[in-house]
Amino acid sequence: MVSTSSRRVLTVMTLALINVAAVMNLSQLSILAQTGLAAISFLAIAAIAFFIPCALASAELASAWPKKGGVYAWVKEAFGSNWGFLAIWLQWVENVFWYPTVLAFAVATLAYMFNPELATNTWYNFITILFITWAITLANFKGMKLSGRISSVGVTVGMMFPAALIIILGLVYLLTGGHSQIEFSIPAMLPDFTSVSNLVLLLGVMLGLCGIEMSAVHVNSVKDPQKNYPKAILISAVIILAIFFLGSLAISVVVPQEEILLSAGIMEAFHSFFHEFGIEWAVPIIALLVALGSVGTISTWIVGPSKGLLATAEEGNLPPFFQRTNAQGMPTNLLLMQAAIITFLVVIYVFMPSINSFYWMLTALTAQLYLIMYILMFAALIKLRYSQPNTKRPYSLPGGRAGAWVIGGLGILAAAVGVLLGFIPPSQIDTGSGMFFQIFIVVSIFLTGVAALIILHLKKPSWAPKGAAKAAIKAASKE
């Protein structure tokens, strides 16, 4: 038997970098750039009230229930299988709404390889997004080996290198006397708290910091997790917040705030920097690298949540049609349904008044659905401290139940505020009719919940695979 200690192979720095890879997304830099120097305040608020509580809460839950399905298992242990299914359903659906925003970022970036004006062309975006969607979906049919290669190459060359480069270019630009588009002063660091519509961008910042729960499953692979996991969280938080702040600042320094495209802000900045330094020939090269980074991210997330949802099929939570996998073990029918929904969302995109409006509407909806899932996760953290106090927790929050209430309560409050902010159009972005914006958000959230209720209502013991049929019947009789 392999000892527990021999399995604890991750160093503090390794886990910190895993956290960075799970959370980092260059497409979020444009949202932060809309806030200018106030990005530092937005990041501080989001980190203290949301990001760090997420990391610590998911670490405790993952250490106690490490191999039982992530957020599905945590919420199920606390509130039952129906609530657990709702949690994983929200995680899957929010990703479906999130894909078009990252796809829009990817195709807008690709436009800089040929003609930057294409970044605002509706039909270019529409056709290219659909092509990439179906191409990546079909590529994932080939199995996790190909998907993993796409992801690893994309993240390596298309995320970390461009992030470092945009920060360096911003610093060189300022140090060599370049004209800044934003004011550097103490007042400029503070958001305008008198206008709620100015604070709505905090929702986009929170979305940019989501995903840390994915890496929490590695907590049991860390030596002395009670001591080293918080260290890894601190290091990764510093790296992530520094990249987000300095990267978004580099964009806002060189691109006027009113001209920042949410889907192409980073390329607007690269184009301006390269023009300033006389190396415009490098624009197509960096555009290709950033686009590859986006494709790598999409490849990772297009299959991950689907396989997480598929895992619930072991207890009969999905009809047999959605349990089907191919020879490579990939959930083909779920992947096809994902692609079909994305296609529908992209069709809506054609009717939006601007690319920014479409981008923000889906960003807001994605964040709201994800934050509702986090509310369930934080509630599970508190509930399990009472219902299962004796379960071994290799990493546990300091302060016992009081610590769980502080972290869980702070997380629930931050997530709830984020959900409410999502209904308000931001003043910095033209979203068209405010009523249409709010109707779209409300109807989308409503239909998401109704779909989950319909699945649970129609749930039958016969949905469970043969090996789990008895367990499903037993579970159904208790509910």
The candidate with the shortest Cα–Cα distance to 106, out of 377, 288, 305, 309, is 288
Domain count, the chain: 1
Residues 6 or more apart whose Cβ sits within 8 Å of residue 342: 96, 99, 100, 103, 133
Q: Is the dihedral of CA 351, 356, 362, 368 positive or negative?
A: negative
Strand-pairing partners, residue 10, are 222
Average pLDDT, the chain: 80
DSSP notation for 440-453? HHHHHHHHHHHHHH
The candidate with the shortest Cα–Cα distance to 358, out of 126, 73, 45, is 126
Give the C-alpha separation, 264 to 108, whole Å: 6
Q: Which residue's entry shows tokens 């590695």?
A: 218
Domain with 350 in it: what CATH number?
1.20.1740.10
| Buried b or exposed e, range 6-27, using 16+ CB within 10 angstroms | eebebebeebbbbbbbbbbbbb
Give the C-alpha separation, 303 to 311, whole Å: 12
290, 161 Cβ separation under 8 angstroms? no
| DSSP 8-state code for residue 47 | I
What are 80's two structure tokens?
């039952």
Q: Which residue's entry shows tokens 């330094």?
A: 277
Please state, as a whole number, how many other Cβ atoms lie within 10 Å of the Cβ of residue 195. 11
Q: Lowest-pLDDT range, 101-105, 351-355, 460-464?
A: 351-355
pLDDT category at 155 given cuts 50, 70, 90 is low
Q: Lowest-pLDDT range, 97-106, 265-274, 411-420?
A: 97-106
Task: State pLDDT tens for residues 75-93.
Answer: 999 999 889 889 989 988 8
Residue 316 has pLDDT above 50, yes or no: yes
Task: State pLDDT tens for residues 352-394.
Answer: 666 667 778 888 888 899 999 999 999 999 999 999 998 888 8
pLDDT category at 148 given cuts 50, 70, 90 is low
Q: What is the pLDDT of residue 118?
A: 83
What are 280's two structure tokens?
């415009």
Please state, as a whole number, how many other Cβ atoms lie within 10 Å of the Cβ of residue 402. 11
| Alpha-carbon distance values, 30 to 200, 262, 276, 405 (Å) | 15, 5, 20, 34
Report field, pTM of the whole predicted structure over 0.85: no
What are 91's two structure tokens?
């995680």
The candidate with the shortest Cα–Cα distance to 354, out of 119, 189, 155, is 119
Where helices occur in 312-433 by DSSP H, the ranges are 332-349, 355-387, 400-421
By residue range, what is the domain housing residue 461?
4-478
Residue 333 has pLDDT above 80, yes or no: yes
| DSSP 8-state code for residue 178 | P
Give the C-alpha separation, 267 to 116, whole Å: 9
Give the C-alpha separation, 353 to 123, whole Å: 13
Helix/strand/coil for 10:
strand
pLDDT category at 24 given cuts 50, 70, 90 is confident
Residue 179 has pLDDT above 80, yes or no: yes
Residue 475 has pLDDT above 50, yes or no: no
| Buried b or exposed e, range 332-362, using 16+ CB within 10 angstroms | bbbbeebbeebeebbeebeebebbbbbbbbb
Residue 448 has pLDDT above 50, yes or no: yes
Tell me the HSE value of 395 on the side-chain side, using a 13 A CA sphere: 30
The residue type found at 253 is V
Task: State pLDDT tens for residues 409-444.
Answer: 999 999 999 999 888 877 666 666 667 778 888 998
Give the C-alpha separation, 339 to 354, whole Å: 23
222 backbone dihedrals φ, ψ, rounded to 5°: -105, 130
Q: Is the dihedral of CA 95, 249, 190, 44 positive or negative?
A: positive
What are 121's two structure tokens?
């062309």
